[in-house]
Amino acid sequence: MKVTAYRVFGRRNILREAQHAAPSAADLVAHNVRGRLPRVEIVLTTPQGIGELTTRAESSLVPGASPRALDKNRRIVVRNARRVFGLTTATRNGVLILLNVHKLPHSDLLSVTLVHELVHAMQFSRPGVMERHLDRVRHNLDITPMSRRELRSLDRHMAADEDEAYRMESALTPQLNAYAA
């Protein structure tokens, strides 16, 4: 597991905390969540960095998007990244977890966010999840538009995955904090 920073200046303490907590959080999630933990890269960055890295990862997974569609997707991701703590997306080699440093002022929030995003990383190893993710990416990049019915189905699956991540977050974060203390 690799933990780095991208376009983040003056936040070395949160990077050190993430490097220290990530292996423990990964072990805890791997033992308590169904699935297999893929190769994970964790990057602490800003909302703009989340937009850049997400678009880069998704365009490498699904080639053929126009520059206009890539720019539109990047702008949408940046807008949404301003209000989220983290984002998990697939890459060719595994999973990329992007953490918004502007939303993580102290280690308690870092622990919660790490557990939540690592649960999403585990979900990518389950049957059908990667295919649904690729379908959503193709739709977002205007490569293969989806019907409203297909989008609603994807939204239902995404909501179920999000519910599981919140449940596991509330169950596992106290264990992680007790272990780290």
pLDDT of residue 151: 96
Q: Report which of 118, 122, 112, 146 is spatially closest to residue 132, judged by C-alpha positions.
A: 146
Q: What is the mean pLDDT of each run of 10 residues along the chain (181 residues)?
A: 93 92 95 95 97 96 94 96 96 96 89 97 95 96 95 96 96 83 58
pLDDT of residue 136: 95
pLDDT of residue 107: 78
Give me the sign of the Cα torsion angle 25, 1, 130, 91. positive
Give me the sign of the Cα torsion angle 3, 48, 65, 150. positive
Cα–Cα distances in angstroms (integers) from residue 72 to residues 96, 118, 177, in the given order: 21, 27, 39
Which residue range is the domain that position 84 belongs to? 2-180
Domain count, the chain: 1
Strand, helix or coil at 146?
A: coil
Question: What's the predicted TM-score (pTM) here?
Answer: 0.94
